[in-house]
Amino acid sequence: MAIKSAEERPAATSSGFVYITIGLLGLVVAGALFATRPMGPTLAIVIGAFLLALWCLLGLYMLQPNQAALLLFFGSYRGSDRENDLR
């Protein structure tokens, strides 16, 4: 049985501060529209803003110096992140 060699690839990541801003703005928009008793198309916008905020905020992670994160997409290796800060 042959052993496959592992190769580390750098992951394409970006700063998490953009995503935290978008996520918090999405929550504010969803909350403000929900407070106005949404009907019809407004309800769709509330759900869309909430799902956008959820997607942005759940993907955040923080890396300290000398740490790495392994990124997977449905169990498939996508790369390793070694950048410090909120990602």
Q: What is the pLDDT of residues 32-63, one digit of tens each?
A: 888 887 787 888 888 889 999 999 999 898 99
Look at residue 25 in the predicted model and tell me its pLDDT. Answer: 93
* Residue 1 covered by a domain: no
- Tell me whether residue 82 is in a domain: no
Count of domains forming the chain: 1
Could you tell me the residue range of the domain that residue 54 belongs to? Answer: 15-65
Position 31 in a domain? yes
Q: Is residue 84 part of a domain?
A: no
On whether residue 48 sits in a domain, the answer given is yes
Q: Is residue 74 part of a domain?
A: no
Residue 26 lies in a domain: yes
- Domain contains 77: no
Instruction: Summarize the confidence of residues 17-36 as an average pLDDT.
Output: 90
DSSP string, 11-40: -----HHHHHHHHHHHHHHHHHHHHT---T
Q: How many residues does the chain have?
A: 87
Whether pTM exceeds 0.75? no
